[in-house]
Amino acid sequence: DQQVKQNSPSLSVQEGRISILNCDYTNSMFDYFLWYKKYPAEGPTFLISISSIKDKNEDGRFTVFLNKSAKHLSLHIVPSQPGDSAVYFCAATQGGSEKLVFGKGTKLTVNP
**In angstroms, what is the minimal distance from the CB of 99 to other proteins?**
6
Nearer to other proteins, 3 or 109 (CB): 3
Q: What are the DSSP E strand ranges found in 1-112? A: 4-5, 10-14, 19-25, 32-38, 45-51, 56-59, 62-67, 72-77, 86-93, 101-102, 106-111
Closest CA to 5 of 86, 92, 84, 68: 92
Partner residues linked to 56 by β-bridges: 65
Report if residue 1 touches other proteins, rule: CB under 8 A: no
How many chain residues interact with other proteins (CB under 8 A)?
25
User: Using CB under 8 A, which residues numbered 68 to 107 contact other proteins?
Assistant: 89, 91, 93, 95-96, 98-105
Cα distance between residue 40 and residue 60, in whole Å: 24
Restricting to residues 4-63, name those near other proteins by CB under 8 A: 6, 32, 34, 36, 41-46, 49, 51
Choice between 83 and 99, CB closer to other proteins:
99
- Rounded to the nearest whole angstrom, what is the least distance from the CB of residue 61 to other proteins in the complex? 18
Contacts of 98 (CB under 8 A, 6+ apart): none
Contact positions vs other proteins (CB under 8 A)? 6, 32, 34, 36, 41-46, 49, 51, 89, 91, 93, 95-96, 98-105
